[in-house]
Amino acid sequence: MLNFIKKEFRFKNLISYSCALVTAFLISVVMYSSNAFADLQGIFYPDSFPSTYEVINSGSNYSGLTYRYWRSESVQGNSNTPTTVYFSQVRTSSGTSSPSGAQFGVYKIVDLRDKRYLDWYAQSITTTKSVPTNYTANMGSLYSEMTVYADSYGIDGSQSNVRYDRIAYTNR
Amino acid sequence: MLDMIELLTQIVKKEMFFLKRYLITLISILALTGIIGTTLASPSNNGEKFVSGHSVTSSAKVLNANEAKEVFGNTELQLPSKLPTNFYQESIIYNEPTTILNENVRAKVDVEKFKEVTIRYRNTTDNTSWIDYTTKKMEIVIMDEDAKDILINGVHGQFKSIPEQGYIAYSWFKGGLSHFIIAKNTSNEKIIEFIESVK
Q: How far apart are CA B177 and CA B75, in angstroms?
A: 8
Q: Please give the C-alpha separations between residue A109 and each of A88, A167, B195, in angstroms, as whole numbers.
A: 12, 10, 25
Here the ipTM equals: 0.78
Q: CB-CB: which of A27, A114, A160 is closest to B139?
A: A114
- CA closest to B57 among chain A residues: A165
pLDDT band, residue A31 (cuts 50/70/90): low
Helix (H) / strand (E) containing A76: strand A66-77
Which residue in B35, B56, B89 has the most chain A C-beta atoms within 10 A of its own C-beta, making it the best mutation to test that interface? B56
Given pLDDT bands bounded at 50, 70 and 90, which one contains residue B37?
low
Interface test with A, best of B50, B57, B158 (most A CBs within 10 A): B57
Q: Please answer yes or no on whether B184 and A27 come within 8 Å at the CB atom.
A: no
Helices (H), chain A: 2-8, 11-33
Q: How many CA atoms lie within 13 A of A126 on its CB side?
A: 6
Task: Give the rounded distance of the alpha carbon of B18 from its chain centre.
Answer: 50
Distance from CA of B105 to the nearest CA of A (A): 6
The pairing of strands A103-110 and A142-149 is: antiparallel
**Nearest residue to A119 (alpha-carbon basis) of A70, A127, A156:** A127
pLDDT in tens, B119-138: 999 999 999 999 999 999 99
CB contact under 8 A, B48 and A117: no
Rounded to two decimals, what is the model's pTM? 0.78
The answer to whether residues A118 and B160 touch, using CB atoms and an 8 Å cutoff, is yes
Cα A13–Cα A17–Cα A18 angle in degrees, nearest 5: 110
Nearest residue of B to residue A165 by CA position? B57
Sort out which chain B residues have CB atoms less than 8 A from A114's CB and list them.
116, 136, 138-141, 178
What is the per-residue pLDDT across A129-159, written as a single tens digit (0 to 9) for each? 999 999 999 998 899 999 999 999 999 999 9
Task: Spell out which residues of chain B touch residue A146, defining contact as CB-CB under 8 Å.
Answer: 55
- pLDDT of res. A150: 97
Closest by CA position to B100, among listed B85, B114, B90, B113:
B114
pLDDT on residue B44: 47
Which positions ≥6 away from B38 have C-beta within 8 Å? none
The two beta strands, B126-136 and B177-184, are: antiparallel
* Separation of CA A152 from chain center: 23
Task: Tell me the backbone φ, ψ of residue B140, rounded to 5 degrees.
Answer: -105, 135
What pLDDT, in 10s, does the model give residues A65-87?
999 999 999 999 999 999 999 99
What values do phi and psi take at B77, rounded to 5?
-70, 125
Residues of chain B in contact with residue A131, where contact means CB-CB under 8 angstroms, are none
